[in-house]
Amino acid sequence: MTSKKQQIGRLAMRREGSFWNAYYALPNTMDNAILLASIKMTLVGDEKLRAAFIEVMKLALTAATEEALGYELKWPDGPIPAPESERSGHG
């Protein structure tokens, strides 16, 4: 049996004011995105903390998906830039 890969959503990271917010969002839209967690921008200036925050969000989404749908998420290697329509111009 061949497994078919399907994108069911994404982890979207957004700078909003003095916070960096992690959302679960559907592919290609932020409509009805679910806020997962926030961290102060001053903390994610440290690359190790930034990477750790992203990893924790991936682990959380993987666990929630496995519990709800019965399969584990597969993550792409490296970050995928946000669609141009969603970019805020902030780093």
pTM of the model: 0.78
Q: β-strands 19-25, 34-40: how paired?
A: antiparallel
Q: Which two tokens stand for residue 4?
A: 């078919």
Closest CA to 9 of 78, 80, 88: 80
5-61 residue pLDDT tens: 677 788 999 999 999 999 999 988 899 999 999 999 999 999 999 999 999 999 999
- For the stretch 47-67, pLDDT in tens is 999 999 999 999 999 898 888
